[in-house]
Structure 1
Amino acid sequence: MAIFATLSALVQQLPASGRATFSAVLDAVRSLFAGDRDTRRKVAFSVAIIALSAKMAKADGIVSTAEVSAFRQILEIPPEEMKNVFRLYDIAKQDVAGFEVYAARLRSMCEDESGNCQILSDVLDALFHIAKADGLVHERELAFIEEIAGIFGLDAAAFARLRERHIQGPDNPYAVLGLDADATHAEARAQYLTLVKENHPDRLAARGVPDEFMFIASERMKAINDAYTKIAKWPAA
Structure 2
Amino acid sequence: MSWWGKVIGGAFGFMLGGPLGALLGATVGHGFDKGLTGVELGTGETWQGGSQERVQAAFFTATFSVMGHLAKADGRVTEDEIELARQTMDNMQLDEEQRRAAIELFNSGKQDDFPLADVLEQLKRECHRRVNLIQMFLQIQIATALADGDLHPSEQAVLLTVAEHLGISRGQFERLLAMVVAQQRFSRRESGSDAPVERESITEAYQLLGVTPNATEAEVKKSYRRLMSQHHPDKLVSKGLPEEMMKIATEKTREIKAAYEVIKASRKKA
TM-score by length of 1: 0.81
Question: What's the offset of the Cα at 1:93?
Answer: 2.7
Equivalent residue number for residue 197 of structure 2: none
Give 5+ residue unaligned stretches, structure 1: 15-19
| Relative contact order higher in (CA < 8 Å, ≥ 6 apart) | 1
* 1-structure distance, mates of 2:208, 2:77: 27
Aligned-pair Cα RMSD in Å: 3.0
1:41 equivalent in alignment to 2:55? yes
Query: Aligned pair in 2 of structure 1 residues 61, 78: CA closer, same or farther (>3 Å)?
Result: farther
Question: What's the offset of the Cα at 1:2?
Answer: 4.3
- The counterpart of 1:221, out of the listed 248, 253, 258, is 253
Equivalent residue number for residue 208 of structure 1: 240
Question: What's the offset of the Cα at 1:109?
Answer: 2.4
TM-score by length of 2: 0.72
* 2-structure distance, mates of 1:182, 1:133: 31
1:73/1:215 contact within 8 Å kept: no
Of 71-80 and 220-229, deviating more is: 71-80
Aligned length: 228
Give 5+ residue unaligned stretches, structure 2: 25-30, 40-45, 187-202
* 1-structure distance, mates of 2:125, 2:162: 13
- The counterpart of 2:137, out of the listed 123, 147, 157, is 123
Q: What code does the residue aligned with 2:221 have?
A: R
- The counterpart of 2:221, out of the listed 186, 189, 203, is 189
1:8/1:81 contact within 8 Å kept: no
Equivalent residue number for residue 232 of structure 1: 264
Query: Aligned pair in 2 of structure 1 residues 96, 13: CA closer, same or farther (>3 Å)?
Result: farther
Equivalent residue number for residue 60 of structure 1: 74
Query: Aligned pair in 2 of structure 1 residues 90, 31: CA closer, same or farther (>3 Å)?
Result: farther
> How is 1:1-237 mapped onto 2 (pairs within 5 angstroms)?
2-9=2-9, 24-25=22-23, 28=32, 31=36, 34=39, 35-36=46-47, 37-75=51-89, 76=92, 77-94=94-111, 96-111=113-128, 115-169=129-183, 170=186, 171-235=203-267
1:21/1:92 contact within 8 Å kept: no
Q: What code does the residue aligned with 1:99 have?
A: L
* 2-structure distance, mates of 1:117, 1:134: 28
Equivalent residue number for residue 17 of structure 1: none
* 2-structure distance, mates of 1:228, 1:38: 32
Could you say which structure has the higher helix fraction?
1
Q: What code does the residue aligned with 1:24 have?
A: A
Which structure: larger Rg? Answer: 2
Q: Percent identity?
A: 27
